[in-house]
Amino acid sequence: MTAPISHLQNLFVHQKASFSFERVPPVAERQAQLRRLADAIREYEQALVDAVDQDFGCRSALETRSAEIAVSVAAANHTIKHLKRWAAPKRYANLGNNIPGKTYTRAEAKGVVGIISPWNYPIQLSLVPLITALSAGNHVMLKPSELTSATNHVLSQLIGSVFKETQVAVVTGDAQVGEAFSALPFDHLFYTGSTRVGRLVAMAAASNLTPVTLELGGKSPCLMMADADLAQDSRLVAFGKLYNAGQTCVAPDYLLVPKGQAATYGDAILRHAESFYADPAEPEPYTTIISEAHHSRLTELLLDAGKQGAEVRSVEVAGANHPRYLAPTVVINPAPDSAIMHEEIFGPVLPILEYESLDEAVAMITNRDHPLALYIFGQNVAAAERVLEHTTSGGAVINGTIVHVAVEHLPFGGVGRSGYGAYHGERGFREFSHERSVLVFPRWKALAGILTPPYGKVLNFITRRSIDKKT
């Protein structure tokens, strides 16, 4: 059910009242909570799979299990294993510092954290940030997308079986509820979704000086160098593009290939699509588009690209009778000013462009907004590394696509318009923690006399040495 705005505000008040720095759970208790949460995920596994399938209309059960449930459990297990080390004070040597004393930092809870999760991976992108925020000792309010109502219902049951609402609460509702949620004075706000809405979330949080993590998207490029393996590498591109029917923030958004090879790569990708989803009786079906509005948007992008001279090719695969089915499609050499080359696609559609030289390909990447991911294929890994040196992105994979998201110890986040802040593993723990610096000043009797007026020769000597010191 949609949470009324007043209920949302009351939940926040109760969570703030129940949070206390004196009562932040010790590490062992946080680990125990995460074990119970992981157990609950396993218990609700089938219910989650069924709910996501219901929300999408058709969603591969194995994709849900691998990309959502397995990733969430792995995040919990990784956090449980390493939390004691992450949470321990970090001590620093005072080498070369004129200020005496012992120094260290403490990783402390921030307080009440808000998490806004999207529809495309409604389990993983709700639970992994939740796990990370809880590992730092915070209370959490979770606002999932209104497009996944069945999944939200199961998530509410799952979370309610482990936590009291004063520690973790799930609130549902439309854009109006989301707007009110963003305006609450959280101690940290974490948002995953579109750049357009992310900008609104950041503006709402700014009025409360709430720190924000934005996990956005953008047009993630995939670069085929001259020595790429057509058969093997095109298969991996097709996997990354068609997984969840392209409704993935790090899916390849356009493909760059050497001059004269666009049609060849396009045909190869479509052949892989046919082989992936050839049998209508296959138990792992081709995923459909989440809503009629998103399906219509993708259809319009294809019509516009065709009108502007691009060659649009597609293949029929199992599931074509579903009203929100969209065939795997490649768009050969789209016009630079076509909508498909400016909007994040978020569907099973891959534009393919050609480049004359590697320098031109790099320029085609760097002349756009910084992407969330960059994929580079080629047998010369050193050359791929040089491409990385001349570009930037939130993350990157050499000779693969999208799987870096599942590597829990790697930070995951964007750069520029693809977002800021990061999470996963220890980086996520730091994101949801306040790192407090502590100096334990020595109790030397002479020290107070040196530091305080009337100033003498000793302080002048120390100051002069700091100014004149060269390294």
Residue showing tokens 């940030």 = 129
Same domain, 233 and 368: yes
How does residue 1 score in pLDDT terms, banded at 50, 70 and 90?
very low
**What pLDDT digit, counting tens, does each position of 282-306 carry?**
667 899 999 999 999 999 999 999 9
How does residue 281 score in pLDDT terms, banded at 50, 70 and 90?
low
Same domain, 256 and 343: yes
CATH classification at residue 208: 3.40.605.10
**What pLDDT digit, counting tens, does each position of 164-218 carry?**
999 999 999 999 999 999 999 999 999 999 999 999 999 999 999 999 999 999 9
The reported pLDDT for the residue numbered 3 is: 60
Report if residue 144 sits inside a domain. Answer: yes
Report if residue 455 sits inside a domain. Answer: no
Same domain, 408 and 428: no
Report if residue 467 sits inside a domain. Answer: no
pLDDT, average across residues 326-347: 96
The reported pLDDT for the residue numbered 36 is: 98
Q: What percent of the chain has pLDDT over 70?
A: 98
Range of the domain at 48: 5-216+421-434
Token pair of 198 as six digits: 């992310």
Q: Provide the number of structural domains found in the chain.
A: 2
Instruction: For residue 249, give the amino acid letter.
Output: C
CATH classification at residue 335: 3.40.309.10
Token pair of 6 as six digits: 């007043």
Same domain, 363 and 409: yes
Catalytic residue IDs:
215, 249
**What pLDDT digit, counting tens, does each position of 398-447 carry?**
999 999 999 999 999 999 999 999 999 999 999 999 999 999 999 888 88
Same domain, 9 and 107: yes
**What pLDDT digit, counting tens, does each position of 376-406 carry?**
999 999 999 999 999 999 999 999 999 999 9
Same domain, 153 and 246: no
21: left (phi over 0), alpha (psi -120 to 50) or beta: alpha
Model-level pTM? Answer: 0.94
Report if residue 463 sits inside a domain. Answer: no
